Amino acid sequence: MHKTRQFLPPMTSLTPGSYDLYSLRLRLIALPRGSLHVTGDFEASTRPIVDAAISNAGKALDVLQEYIVVPTHELQISHIQDKFKEATIYPEEFSVPARAQQSIRYLVCFREAFEPST
């Protein structure tokens, strides 16, 4: 999450120093397949995160067949609960620590802009 983002309701504002924006937790939610537009093998790509969260919780994760588990930044949980009534929000124990990363699109564009053409 970029440091300049605004905290919109229903999320409460964070005071400086109250949350480490560089270190976060990825929480697990599940949404019906019909609510998502998924490309590629999303479930295989996210499986290591889901497995690590299950391992951290030390118990099974019950997921309905027609739902897809989505790793989510912990600060977005209140928005998801507010905007997606059909979402299943798993307890905080199903989470993994992560480091925040800013978008690398600008680095890619910058690099492409300055590579010699062939």
Residue 2 lies in a domain: no
Digit-coded pLDDT (tens) for 40-82: 999 999 999 999 999 999 999 999 999 999 999 998 899 899 9
Residue 14 lies in a domain: no
What residues make up the domain containing 81?
A: 23-114
Question: How many whole angstroms separate alpha carbon 22 and alpha carbon 24?
Answer: 7
Q: Which long-range contacts (CB under 8 A, 24 or more apart) does 100-108 make?
A: 100/1, 100/21, 100/22, 100/23, 100/24, 102/2, 103/2
Residue with tokens 């949980």: 77
Residue 93 lies in a domain: yes
State how many domains the chain has. Answer: 1
Residue 1 lies in a domain: no
Residue 7 lies in a domain: no
User: Hey, which of 15-24, 82-91, 106-115 has the most confident mean pLDDT?
Assistant: 82-91
End-to-end CA distance of the chain: 37
Residue 18 lies in a domain: no
Residue 76 lies in a domain: yes
Element (H, E) at 92: none
Residue 50 lies in a domain: yes
Whether a cis peptide bond, with omega within 30° of 0, leads into 10 is: yes
